[in-house]
Amino acid sequence: MRLEGKVALITGAGMGIGEAIARRFIDEGARVCISGRRQELLEEVASSLPAGSVITCAGDVSKDADVERMVKTTLTLGGHLNVLVNNAGIHPPGSVTGLDSAAWRQTLEVNLTGPFLLMKAAIPHMIQAGGGSIINIASLAGLRCLPGMPAYCSSKAGLIMLTQQAALEYGPSKVRCNVVCPGGVRTATVDGTIGELAKKLGTDKTGVYVHLSSNVPLRRVAVPDEISGLCSYLASDDSSFMTGSVIVIDGGAAVVDVSGIVAANAGVTAI
């Protein structure tokens, strides 16, 4: 119960990583406002959680009015806001020359401007409460490049820098800001995007994940609960001396030298 007495706002919490974080926070004693664009998903999650532990607020993180409403709704849980988790995100594919400019702008609005607006709205309340913890969910793609994903990678790289900037500015006010960079995570959203790849590889969705993680040291992708545990630690007082940290949680993917893997797969042990 290391989050007992804390109040949290979590975006993108209708499914996947955001839902897992909400469940973990509540299991550890927090009260939570879950936000997302689809009210029906939020209600489904809320109905499976203990009464009085959760409140819903549907909205778009890229819209100022919706963000203000999310924060105000969270404050109804006890008049204070201790933890903000910026998890909402989108990832339209397309190369630099092939991506529609509207998709580029929307990705930056949701993935980068959204967290900025929420931090801007939440930080004054955290300062008033004596401090708080902001956890921004970026991606390994904010540190490494993914083919055909310039908008997503750029937005997550920007989120890393935004997090560190806020850590610098608001540390004296006891507001901690850290960023989590997951590698591959199996969620319903990702499942919905890999059907075509499964056909090309002649396998099912599980086979796709096996293929994608074949060179990752742990040889698998994560499940959302494995990300939620780290977020619980960052939200708690156990991480009281952590701010500005960029935490990679990727099964070891970031340590792999792609050239070395090609050589190893060809039977060459040293290059």
43 three-state secondary structure: helix
Of 152, 170, 209, 233, the active-site residue reads 152
| Angstrom distance (rounded) from CA 251 to CA 179 | 17
Beta strands in the chain (DSSP E): 7-10, 31-36, 54-58, 83-86, 132-137, 175-182, 246-249
| Angstrom distance (rounded) from CA 77 to CA 56 | 11
8 three-state secondary structure: strand
Vertex 11, ends 40 and 205: CA angle to 5°? 70
Q: Tokens 């897992």 correspond to what residue?
A: 20
| Angstrom distance (rounded) from CA 152 to CA 146 | 9
The verdict on whether 152 is a catalytic residue reads yes
Q: Which residue type does 127 have?
A: I
Q: Which residues contact 156 (CB under 8 A, 6 or more apart)?
A: 89, 111, 138, 139, 141, 142, 181
CA distances from 238 to 3, 57, 148, 235 (A): 10, 29, 39, 8
Where does residue 174 fall: left (phi above 0), alpha (psi -120 to 50 degrees), or beta otherwise?
A: left
Annotated active-site positions, please? Answer: 152
